[in-house]
């Protein structure tokens, strides 16, 4: 497994819409494993393939707590089928927007259809942190960032800050 470099805001790659994964083969499974390794190293609880520059509909998540056994989840071509009317708010962060956090309100529960590592179609109902994480990562597949769910003023401040930092690195 290989730790991959993360794509950081304001890189326009983060706004790309990802393409479906056509088949679950050795390459797609290796990509999933590399993503898990990268996510754990960061450290984070979720990662979309676009965040390492691969525009494919693949998400990895592990919301297990520190000290617990790791419970990695891999979702190929995930799509939200239903969302509850009930809402919940979590302080979200993103590996592609390091050291910035904001309160985001989303549906409290969702049902997701996806393809697993064995190429089998599955459905999962999630609530709490897992539901929030899934929505955050699926947003990435559609070119949406969590800062798109906060006020325009805050979002523009964050984008300016990261644009300035990117220019300083050049």
Residue position matching structure tokens 């050291």: 99
Tokens of 6: 């993360």
Tokens of 138: 């699926």
Candidate list 69, 123, 137, 156, residue with the active-site label: 137
Q: Strand pairing of 73-83 and 87-94?
A: unpaired
8-11's contacts with Cβ under 8 Å and 24+ in sequence apart are 8/96, 8/97, 8/98, 8/162, 8/166, 9/96, 9/97, 9/145, 9/147, 9/158, 9/159, 9/162, 10/159, 10/162, 10/163, 10/166, 11/96, 11/166
Question: Is 69 an annotated catalytic residue?
Answer: no
Give catalytic residue positions: 137
């Amino acid at each position: 497994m290989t730790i991959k470099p993360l794509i950081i805001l304001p890189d326009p790659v983060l706004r790309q819409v990802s393409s479906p994964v056509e088949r679950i083969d050795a390459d797609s499974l290796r990509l999933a494993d590399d993503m898990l390794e990268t996510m754990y190293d960061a450290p984070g609880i979720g990662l979309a393939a676009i965040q390492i520059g691969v525009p494919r509909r693949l998400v990895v998540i592990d919301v297990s707590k520190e000290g617990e056994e790791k419970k990695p989840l891999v979702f190929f071509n995930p799509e939200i089928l239903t969302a509850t009317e009930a809402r919940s708010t979590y302080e979200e962060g993103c590996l592609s927007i390091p050291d910035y956090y904001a309160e985001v309100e989303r549906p409290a529960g969702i049902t997701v259809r996806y393809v697993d590592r064995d190429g089998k179609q599955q459905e999962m109902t999630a609530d709490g942190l897992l539901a929030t994480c899934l929505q955050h990562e699926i947003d990435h597949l559609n070119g949406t960032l969590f800062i798109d769910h906060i006020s325009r003023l805050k979002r523009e401040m964050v984008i300016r800050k990261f644009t300035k930092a990117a220019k300083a690195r050049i």
